[in-house]
A and B are shown apart, each in its own frame.
Chain A
Amino acid sequence: MENLITLAFLVVKILVITHVLLGAVAYTVWLERKLIGRMQNRWGPTRVGPFGLLQPIADGIKFIVKEDLLPPGVNKPLFLLAPLLAVALGLTSLAVIPFGESITIAGHTEALQISGFMRADGSIFDANVGLLIILGVTSIGVYGIALAGWSSNSKYSLLGSLRASAQMISYELALGLSLVGVIIMSGSLSLRQIVDAQGGNILHWNFIGGWQFVAFFVYLIAAFAETNRIPFDLPEAETELVAGYHTEYSAMKFAMFFMAEYANMFTAACVATLLFLGGWHSPFEGISWIPAVPLPPIVGALVPVFWFALKIFFFIFFYIWVRGTLPRFRYDQLMAFGWKVLLPLAIANIIVTSALVAMNLAPIGPK
């Protein structure tokens, strides 16, 4: 009986989190069009619903009812597999991301994380290599793009996917190495323990308290490249490659690549929040002169989720802001920047961080 209840809660958690993410993806597209519009002195979508709020639904219907073209000359199994792979891997990372502590509904306590389970003593058990699982899933995400380009049998797609593979392999190094400083600081690969090590107000977060600002910026730039966003969107540079790796895709298969890209943006934002910005901790936590407001238990459990969502929103806004501001890199600039600037910076950060930890100079650190 107990197992059945746990299983039921697990299914509910998976359904809720996946649907919240997909809804967020749809409305991020709306937000992006709206914000970019304002940055370019336009209005963005205004026709469907108030402020164009129903635009994502209209877009969704359009994607579903459009004709699903299968161009001649494609490698059919791989052509169909590629978008599925992209979207599935984009959603998989969600399984290990913790959104908050735990919540008690009808006498049953449940961890706010798909792969997190309650121990008998009330502590939470989660995957103890959670960070590596996210890195692994994002690193095999490149196959979706590579296969899409190769199986399309089109030169623009192939060029786009070659660029994407080269870019993702190159920037993954800087991305992975920029996280090592945080791992040294918290002494764990479990995302929950990494957040717990930053417990407290804004001064205890790795970004400031752990002196990881260099790592944070390296991570942020590498994450832009990993998610193929401007200024690193060479794989789908529409001025040179039509649309890059998804040139030949239409209807729902194209929408899957779209969803995968935005899901990857959310994953990158989640990792940045968990590792550098204290996860679900409020920036004012533990400051004595702020009065504690009494809240009902369920609302109290959801306040950390609110802080988490606010930080994610900040990153999404930043993505859009950068898109409205910066031009695209040239290909040689992209490679030179990744290998000659970001990678040495990330390695220097590891050396400095480990020296600080070894000399016990870091304000927070492994206990």
Chain B
Amino acid sequence: MIHQALFFIFAAICVAGALNLLLQKHPISSALSLIVVMGSLALLYLLLGAQFVAAIQIIVYAGAIMVLFVFVIMLLNAGIEEHTEGSRIAVYFGVPAVAALVGMVLYVLLKTSHIEYQVQLGGFVKPTRDVAMLLFREYLLPFEVTSVLILIAIMGAVVLARREP
């Protein structure tokens, strides 16, 4: 009962935030609605028992990546977006593409709606230690590879954003 109530509240906030991202004209409003989506997704992760994922969702996504976005929007002083030639083309090709995507998603969902599994509150809560064990034992190589990826990304960002002397 309480699980359903919480799910519907936060799902509604998620969808409203995502739609607001689509409808707002100013990039900073879009960024704020995306932060709201990320915050309510973190709460949905908590309902699914993924506490560590919920915490890093807030720390990494809402607290680091989106701060970077807001920072860049403020730095470039981005204004209201303008509609040009490309927007009409985007509408001509975009509407059928999105409609096709919606149809495909609906088809897959109807086909798989026989999944009877019910999510129970607190039904699958594992301590953070288990996540760490999995990450540093079974997924050690991917973990190291992503750390190299991050290093390359940092160097790339520094090279790209540096002013020419």
**A and B touch in their complex, CB below 8 angstroms:** yes
Residues of chain A whose beta carbon lies under 8 Å from any beta carbon of chain B: 78, 127-129, 132-133, 135-137, 139-140, 142-143, 146-147, 149-150, 158, 161-162, 165-166, 168-169, 172, 176, 187, 189
Q: Supply 16 further A-B pairs (C-beta < 8 A) apart from A142-B63, A169-B71.
A: A128-B51, A129-B128, A133-B58, A135-B63, A136-B62, A139-B58, A139-B59, A143-B35, A143-B67, A146-B70, A146-B71, A150-B70, A166-B71, A169-B64, A172-B64, A176-B59
Residues of chain B whose beta carbon lies under 8 Å from any beta carbon of chain A: 28, 32, 35, 51-52, 54-56, 58-59, 62-64, 67-68, 70-71, 74-75, 127-129
Closest A residue, CB atoms, query B62: A140
Closest B residue, CB atoms, query A165: B71
Closest A residue, CB atoms, query B129: A187
CA distance A169 to B63 in the complex (A): 8
Residues in A whose Cβ lies below 8 Å from that of B71? 146, 162, 165-166, 169
- Secondary structure at the A interface, as helix, strand, loop or mixed, is helix
Distance in angstroms from A181 CB to nearest chain B CB is: 15
The answer on a CB contact under 8 Å between A128 and B63 is no
Query: In the complex, which of the residues B52, B64, B75 contacts A162, with contact meaning CB atoms closer than 8 Å?
Result: B75
Residues in A whose Cβ lies below 8 Å from that of B55? 129, 132-133, 135-136
Closest B residue, CB atoms, query A168: B67
**20 A/B residue pairs, CB under 8 Å, sorted by A:** A128-B51, A128-B128, A129-B54, A132-B52, A133-B58, A135-B55, A135-B59, A136-B62, A139-B58, A139-B59, A140-B63, A142-B67, A146-B70, A146-B74, A147-B32, A150-B70, A150-B74, A158-B74, A165-B71, A169-B67
Residues in A whose Cβ lies below 8 Å from that of B75? 162
CA distance A176 to B62 in the complex (A): 15
The answer on a CB contact under 8 Å between B128 and A189 is yes
CA distance A165 to B32 in the complex (A): 15
The answer on a CB contact under 8 Å between A172 and B127 is no
A150-B28 contact in complex given A129-B128, A169-B71, A172-B64, C-beta closer than 8 Å: yes
CA distance A208 to B32 in the complex (A): 43
Closest B residue, CB atoms, query A132: B55
Distance in angstroms from A161 CB to nearest chain B CB is: 7
CA distance A32 to B74 in the complex (A): 34
Which of A136, A162, A166 has most chain B Cβ within 10 Å?
A136
CA distance A112 to B71 in the complex (A): 39
Query: In the complex, which of the residues B35, B63, B68, B127 contacts A136, with contact meaning CB atoms closer than 8 Å?
Result: B63
Distance in angstroms from A148 CB to nearest chain B CB is: 11
Residues in A whose Cβ lies below 8 Å from that of B51? 127-129
The answer on a CB contact under 8 Å between B63 and A172 is yes
List 4 A-B pairs, minimum CB-CB distance, nearest first. Answer: A139-B63, A136-B58, A132-B55, A136-B59
Distance in angstroms from B47 CB to nearest chain A CB is: 15
CA distance A161 to B54 in the complex (A): 27
CA distance A129 to B63 in the complex (A): 16
Query: In the complex, which of the residues B54, B58, B67 contacts A146, with contact meaning CB atoms closer than 8 Å?
Result: B67
Which of B52, B58, B59 has most chain A Cβ within 10 Å?
B59
Residues in A whose Cβ lies below 8 Å from that of B129? 187
A161-B74 contact in complex given A146-B67, A150-B28, A172-B64, C-beta closer than 8 Å: yes
Distance in angstroms from A263 CB to nearest chain B CB is: 18
CA distance A166 to B72 in the complex (A): 10
Which of A128, A149, A162, A168 has most chain B Cβ within 10 Å?
A128
Residues in A whose Cβ lies below 8 Å from that of B59? 132, 135-136, 139, 176
Residues in A whose Cβ lies below 8 Å from that of B67? 139, 142-143, 146, 165, 168-169
Distance in angstroms from A338 CB to nearest chain B CB is: 15
Distance in angstroms from B35 CB to nearest chain A CB is: 7
Closest B residue, CB atoms, query A136: B58
